[in-house]
Structure formats: C-alpha cells, structure tokens
Structure 1
C-alpha cells in the first residue's frame, strides 16, 4: 500500500498565494507533499505566517513579493522558485483584480491593468513555468463563474478577463500536451473569502442562486486544484471545471 502523499517530492508555485483561495491552495499542495513557492503583493505578514505554517509540515516554502502586472518580475519569480526547489511541477495562477462597476464608467487604465494581471500574468507565468517542467506538469488557472454566467450588473470587465482564460487554457493544453504538460481552468462559485464573505451584505442574494444554498469554503476550491495538479487528474486537460454549487445551472 502506497502511503506517500500524492505530490510527494514535487514542487509547486502559486501566483497570488497569501490569502483566500490562494492560501488554501498553498496549504493543500503542501499537505499533499509539495514544496510550495508563492507570490504576494502587500500582505507580507500573512505571507510570512503561511511560510511558517508550511514549514511546520516538513515541506519547504518560499514567499516572493511580486506585482503580477510586472511581467519581467513575474517570470523571474517563477525561475527563482524552480531554482530553489530544483524543479517545478505545478503552477497555479490565482492572482487577479476584481473591478466592478458600470462598463461605461470604467477607464482605459482600469482595463489595461485588469488585463495585465488577470490575463497577461497567467500567460507569462505559464510560459515561464513550462520551460522548467520536464516529464509532465500541471498548470491550473483560477477563473470565475462569471465566465459562464454573469448574473449581476457591473461585472463586464471582470467577466471578459476571466473568459479570456478559457482560450488561453485550451491553447496551453494543445501546445504543451506533447510534453505531458496539462492545462486546466477552475471556475469557483461564491467562495467565503475576505473579498466576498459568506456573511456580506449581498450574501443572501448570492447564496440563493446556488443549487446547494451556500458558499464554498476555500478548502473546497483547493481540493479541486489539488486533484487537477496530481496524478489523479493526469488525463484532464484543456477544460474548465466549475466548482460553483450549482450557480450556473
């Protein structure tokens, strides 16, 4: 009987990993046996605490302050993690901006920065990571249910940026599949985070749109990411997985 954790001996990187879904993914990948590097923008205290938490499990961790809008810095961070751990097997793209407002009131500057972080950064990180992935690998990007169903007004720019990831994921899967590298997209539904708390002012309305009548925990999103990152997901690529409690049905 194999008692080794499913990602034992592997190395992962999470872009945007200091809080919320990203932090849950870091914890889950470490629990599954991976050494994990992750980026953050401003939450240095939370990042340090997460590093210490991972290291207490016996895995290695590395936190890097990187603005995902800085393409050169992001690519360099991927190289640093691969060099530190001696390999890179899993990349999780999680960092994102969350612009909300009437489409005719959003500025070109907001558009450009949203695309830089939500679309360009996953492309930059994925192409940088792929150069280090030998003998297979997994690239998992965090999208959003709004790419499938935009229920509320004000989400036009955010929805556009997350919908673009569908095409990027398909392209990565096709181009990298010959090397055994898989690319998938996870669309979370309402998830209890500091940006979208399950007890927030609109939570009852949001919850009512789900078939299960509740928000997801961040660990539930992380569980799907871990499945796609590991060998149990080795025949899944180029597709989007909804983890939305039935929001889009």
Structure 2
C-alpha cells in the first residue's frame, strides 16, 4: 500500500550488535513501519529498540506502530475487557499474582480444556492449549480443583509442539520458568516466568476456555477505523491448532465485502465496535 501511493520502502533488519548503525539509518527516513513483534527480541534488546523508536518519534518521524501503542494494545488482559462482546469469551480471567493464578487455574482446568496465555509477545510462544491427560472434568465450574500431581496434555501455539507435565510443573513454569532451575525437561523454545515483575512490568497470565472449532481456523479483520479493508482466513496445518505464521498454516485473503463473513462483520462493526471506539 505504501509503495502504491508512490513512496519507496527499504527493508532494514535490526541487529542488536549494530544498534548504533541502525539508529543512524532509521533517523534518515521519513517514516518507519515496525515489523518486530513484542517479545521477539530479548529484554535488553527490546528496551534498546523501543527507546530508539521513541527517539525517532521525538524527532517527528512517524513510527507505525509505536512501542507504547504496541504495549497498550497488545496487553493480553484486553481480552478481559472485551469478554462480554460478540468477539469475546465471558469466562476470560486475568491473573497478576502467583496465588490468584494457582487457585484460579486449578479450578478452571478441572472444569474444561483451557488456553493459557502469557502477556508478552504475539508469535504464539507462551500460549498453551491445555487438556487433562487422564482425569475426568468436573460437571460444573467450581465443583473441583486439581492437585499438583494431575497430568496435563499441552500444546504450544508458536510451533504446535506437545508436552506432558503435571499441574505443579506447569505452575512452576509459569511462575519461575527456566531461571528457577526446575524446568530443564521442558522442550518449549520459551523461558516461562510469565508473572515475573508483576502487573506493572507486564507480568500476567490470561485464562480462557478452549474453542475446539479453532481447527477450522480464525478470521483476521483488517480495519481503518470503522471501515473493513480486508478479511484473512487463517487455517492451522492439519493436526495443528495454531494459525501463527511459521506453523504451516494456510492464509486465504478476501475482500471487505465477502458474503460468507457478512454476519461476522455485522456483529463486529455494528454491535461491538461502537462499544469500543
């Protein structure tokens, strides 16, 4: 779209070791489109990159999207704020401290399969689809609470890999992660410790029900304000349940007036968006 309007786009890769060189180049452009998702860089590197983007903004260079917008819009507890809209799930919970997480997760997981999401990043790392491996679910929410020894069947959304851990081991992963020294057996590419730093530092865990129709895919709606620009059907690879890029998922692109998504658009644009914007 930028090129079609007569502008020139130059892709530049950010290499942390060449930060100063990148900074000089970045400040010479009229605008910057950031294609680095939060969490793709390590903590110190992300901080340095975000600081540079803020410097560019201070110089009058537009940055899409700015670090602060990404932080505010990307926080997973936004899912709690839309829980009662058509596009949300009413039983979405957010945990900001260890005790609330332990108590809440043991109760929700005893009732139905869940999706547990860390706050940081948007590439699927730290998003777990979890089912009970052997134990039966309780009939009603709150009827039971899991024990630390109960086994979980888990799949991570960034690469659809599967792991089996006890409830206690998963809690240890979420609270202390690899730095705690008790998670060496995990094959995840991540490091855990999702609650580290507390709410102020972005430490949080989101707990939602698992929607089994995810195997049919999800629809991304691209908008400019209240105007639909494009719809994208993202279908997971066969046997997978995540449509994140790099997992073999299939993307199908549709125009804004695609008939099959008319009801989705009506609910989103006529009913939900007026309550948000």
Return the TM-score normalized by structure 2: 0.25
Return the index of the structure with the highest Cα Rg.
2
Q: 1 or 2, which has the higher helix percentage?
A: 1
Q: With CA pairs under 8 Å and 6+ residues apart, which has the higher RCO, 1 or 2?
A: 1
